[in-house]
Every structure is written in structure tokens, then in C-alpha cells.
Structure 1
Amino acid sequence: MTATLAAPPEKKRAPPQKRPGKHWSRHASAWLWLAPALIIFGLFKFVPMARAISMSFHEVRPYLGDRWVGLDNYRTVLGDEAFRAAAGHTLVLALGETLGSLVIGLALALLLEGTARHLWFVRTAVFLPTVTAMAVVAALWRVIYYPAPDGALNVVLGWIGLGPGQYLDSPHTSLWSVMAVGIWRGAPYDMMIFIAGLAGVDRTLYEAAAADGAGPLRRLWHVAFPAMRPVFGIVVTLAAIRGLRVFTEIFLLTNGGPNGSTEVVMTLVYKLGLERNELGIASAGSMLLLVATIALTVLTQMLRRRS
């Protein structure tokens, strides 16, 4: 009878302790690389923002010293009929451009989603309005909207028996004309985000739904859209912020006219601050727009997390 001796238990080695100096050096090098960009970003973003917040509570008097007025600038802005009209135009543009660019961008993404070789050229061509300078876009659309009977858009509408329109020169159609330009320019941007979201959907889910007899529309509604909920939240947030902060299109196409029919908050703030030299009131208007943008972003994030 032989006895077996049990092997002595192995001693567990303690995990090597990380040296704090090495950990700190790794993060310090990253911050050193980011420092130039952060400094420039802070000087041209956060410092002016802090200055604007301060100016919104003062009557700005160059060379005489600012005078504290508390909330008077905000009361003036909120009680101004022109500001309320501009806020209404901004809201209409934000809603219209958000819905329009979302629907058209999703339709383009569904048409151009895939791995075929020729799609890269089509996607690039469709995406060009987003990367084209707004000055060029404005000049192009002023030619399209030329109000004479021989204008580009009026000629096309004449083929189907519709009379010539004034578009940017009419108070009744100017806001909708600018909205069409915003949708045309923003839809390709939303399209690229939707294409990225569609590429992330598990293909086996499509195959399983097809095996159960689901058609293309049912697969889209019950498979693709639920998987793309975070993408929809991102697109809506970006498009809404883009619509609230609209400025360049209005400034180059109509400058708020005719008769203030396309005046928005950003163009009104620009005119108050740089043309009328009412910097305190202009800063108060910009702060209200900032608060509305932050509230919209927070609300969208809350709804996305709840869903």
C-alpha cells in the first residue's frame, strides 16, 4: 500500500502594482498633445461665452464703462415684438428643417445603403451640398429663385402650368423658400448618419424576419427602425440645433427680409449687437437661444434614454 503525498498549494503571486508615475506620465503626454487645441478652443469659445453672459446683465458702454442693469436686458428682449416674431420664425424653421431633412435623409440612406462599388460616387455627389461653402449655395439658390418668368424654377413650374413666384422677394413665401434651402443642405448630412446606422444593424435579423414571411417594409419597420433608435435621437438633436442656430442662410439670402418675414433670433442678435451697438440686449437674446438649445438637447437625451 502506497501513500500519495498531496502537492503543496501553489502560492498566488500578487498582481504587479502599477507605478503611479508611469500612469501619470501616460496621461500627461496626452494632455500635452491636446493643450494647444484646448487653449485655442477656450480662448475663442469659452472666454467669449463668459463675456457674453456678463454683458447680458450690463448696459455696455464702450470707453465709458459697463453699467449693471440686472435682468432689464432680458425683460427688454422678451417684451420686444420683433424678438418674439424672430423666435417664432426660428421655431418654424427648426421644425420644418428637422422633419424635412430627417425624412429626405432617411429616404436617401435607404436608396444608397449597400456595398456596391458605384455607390461611393453617388454618395459623394449627394453629399456635396453639405460641404459646399454657404456663399456658393446662396448664390446658386438666388439664381434658382430668380423671380422673373425666365427664372430657373419659374421656367420648370411653367411646364406644368403654374405661374411665376416671387419666392425670396415675397413675405408669404420667403420663409418657406429659405427652409427648402436648409433641407436641401442638411438632408445629405443626415443621410450619412443613417447609412452608418443601417450598416450596424445585424443582418441575421433581416434573414430571420424574411424567413418568417416579413416583406421589405415590415423588415424595415420591425427590424431596422428599432435597432436605429439611438441614431434617430442623434439625428433629431443635431438637426434641431442646426435649425435653431440658423444664420448664414438667412443672412446671405434675405438678411431677414422682406419686411422681417425671415428674421430669426441669430440675425436679430447680429443686427442689435453689430449694427445698433446694443451689445447688452444682443447678449441677452443670444443667452436665451443658448438656454433653448441646451433644454432641447437635454429633453432629447431624456426621451431617448426613457425609450
Structure 2
Amino acid sequence: MGKAIEMSFHEVRPFLGDAFVGMDNYAEVVSSDRFVQAIAQTVTLAAGVTAGSILLGLVLALLVEGQARHLWVVRTAAFLPVVAAMAVVAEVWRMLYYPAENGALNSILGWVGLGPSQFLASEDTALWSVMAVGIWQGAPYNMMIFLAGLAGVDRSLYEAATVDGAGTMRRLWSVTLPALRPVLVILVTLAAIRGLRVFTEVFLLTNGGPNGASEVLMTLIYKLGLERGELGVAAAGSVVLFLATAILTIVTQLVRRRADA
């Protein structure tokens, strides 16, 4: 980390000696349209994956809670995306998305009367297609954490709410979600950090394309540093990403402490 910070203030020239450039690399990061677009798309992707995977994970947890004897196969199968290698996951989803005319997903769209979509090859859908993969892979992990949280909820609270005439949704809103608040804070923090640092699925599915429509900060840093050799600018981008992650973590913890108080 110290070396990355040092590099961010230099024009890195292997074998020729580094030249100190002060804040020039950071100025390029802030002013570059490409960086701004990548940051905006990173935040969009992180927010979408965080919200989608947590919501889907909660729904899955509520569906299988208390059904370990009967739904253990479902729970095991649902967790497989978490342990599968991202390279394998990306290839499976690539097969689902392509080919455009008769791919699996487009065939399903055809059955309901919708036209074929280019998914990863369209600027309008590439980022959302990658987001769907992130939600699909992150939801089972969140499901398992939610199941652990649900196991600790006092059953007498549900009984008291039922006696008071509370329905299913009212019990969810007034009993389940407040009890899961610490779990939610942890999951939001972890999912948001993973979202900001997303790289593998974007790199394997779209490589930031088409025309930068799915470029995120990590893939841009990779291309600048390892493909174009602009190591100083790439290091500055890495420091910006680190600071954003640190700020997000601090803010989340402050919100948690205020809520607990």
C-alpha cells in the first residue's frame, strides 16, 4: 500500500527512474471523462448488486427458514454459485446470454413475445447484464447469513405479534427486520465493498465494453497499469478506490453505532 501511494505521485518509468509529478496523476483521475464514467458505473453496479443480492437473499432465507429437513437439497443447490469459480460462472452466463438469436435467455424472451437482446454486446444492457450475474452469485451468501440471523430471533416475539393480530407482512416489518438490523448492516458493508472492487465478472464477460459502457474502476486501473503502462495514474486510481472504500466503511459503522444507541 505504501508503494502504491508513492507511485501515485510519480510518473513511473521502469529502468529509467521515476519522475515526481505531485498531484498530476490525481488531477488526471478527477478530470478524465473515462475515469468519471468508470466511477459512476462502479457506483451503479455496486448499488444494484448490493440491493439486489440482499433483497433476494432475504427472500430466499424467509422461504427456506425452518425447512432444513425438507429443503436441504434446495439450500445446498442455492449456495453453489458462491463456491463456484468466477471464471466458470462467467462462462456459464456467457452461454446463457449468447448467441443473440437462439441463446437460452433469448429463447425464453421469444416465448413471451419479446425480441432478442444483445445483452453483453449492447451499450444499453451490458452493465445491467453484469449486475444480474453479481446478484445471482451474491444472494446465496446473503441467504446463509440471514438464516443465521433468523435463527436468533426470539420466537415469542412472533407469538406476541400474532396474538395482537399482526399479519405476515406486519410481523416481517415489525419483528423480523428490526431483529436482523445488525446482520443487514454487516451485509450492506461487505456487499458494497465487494461491489466497489468488482473486477473479475466485468473483465471476463465484457472487458469493460462495448465502448466503455460497462467499464468499472478496477478494469480501468488494470488497463492503464498493465496494458498501457501508466502505472502512476493507475496507482492514483487505486488510492482513490481505497479512500472510497474506507469512507464507506467508516460511514456505515457510524450509522450502525447511532442506530444501536
Q: TM-score range by the shorter chain?
A: over 0.9
1:177 aligns to what? 129
**Matched residues in 2 for 1:182 and 1:306: separation?**
30
1:82 aligns to what? 34
1:242 aligns to what? 194
TM-score normalized by the length of structure 1: 0.82
Q: Structure 1 residue 231 and structure 2 residue 183: aligned?
A: yes
Q: Structure 1 residue 136 and structure 2 residue 88: aligned?
A: yes
**Matched residues in 1 for 2:20 and 2:167: separation?**
66
1:67 aligns to what? 19
2:98 aligns to what? 146
2:230 aligns to what? 278
**Matched residues in 1 for 2:99 and 2:44: separation?**
24
State the AA in 2 paired with 1:157.
L
Identity rate, percent: 68
5 Å matches for 1:1-307?
49-307=1-259
Kept in 2, the 8 Å contact 1:59–1:69? The answer is yes
- Give the secondary-structure state (helix, strand or coil) at the position aligned to 1:118: helix
**Matched residues in 1 for 2:211 and 2:13: separation?**
30
- Give the secondary-structure state (helix, strand or coil) at the position aligned to 2:69: coil
Kept in 2, the 8 Å contact 1:147–1:169? The answer is no
State the AA in 2 paired with 1:169.
A
Report the alpha carbon displacement of residue 154 of structure 1 after superposing the two structures with TM.
0.7
Kept in 2, the 8 Å contact 1:147–1:167? The answer is no
Provide, for residues 61-94 of structure 1, a one-character-per-residue CA deviation record: whole Å limited to 9, x for no partner. Answer: 1111222222111011111110001011101101
1:32 aligns to what? none
Provide, for residues 151-207 of structure 1, a one-character-per-residue CA deviation record: whole Å limited to 9, x for no partner. Answer: 111111111111111000111111111111111111111111111111111111112
Kept in 2, the 8 Å contact 1:147–1:165? The answer is no
Runs of 5+ consecutive residues of structure 2 not aligned to the other structure: none
Provide, for residues 86-129 of structure 1, a one-character-per-residue CA deviation record: whole Å limited to 9, x for no partner. Answer: 01110110111111111111100100111531332211100111
Report the alpha carbon displacement of residue 149 of structure 1 after superposing the two structures with TM.
1.6
**Matched residues in 1 for 2:211 and 2:198: separation?**
19
**Matched residues in 2 for 1:240 and 1:265: separation?**
14
Report the alpha carbon displacement of residue 212 of structure 1 after superposing the two structures with TM.
2.0
Provide, for residues 264-289 of structure 1, a one-character-per-residue CA deviation record: whole Å limited to 9, x for no partner. Answer: 10000000100111111000001101
Could you say if the C-alpha distance between residues 111 and 71 of structure 1 is closer, same or farther in structure 2, counting changes exceeding 3 Å? same
- Give the secondary-structure state (helix, strand or coil) at the position aligned to 2:68: coil
**Matched residues in 2 for 1:306 and 1:201: separation?**
22
- Give the secondary-structure state (helix, strand or coil) at the position aligned to 2:229: coil
TM-score normalized by the length of structure 2: 0.96
Report the alpha carbon displacement of residue 150 of structure 1 after superposing the two structures with TM.
1.1
Report the alpha carbon displacement of residue 209 of structure 1 after superposing the two structures with TM.
1.6
Structure 1 runs of 4+ aligned residues shifted over 3 Å read: none
State the AA in 2 paired with 1:192.
M
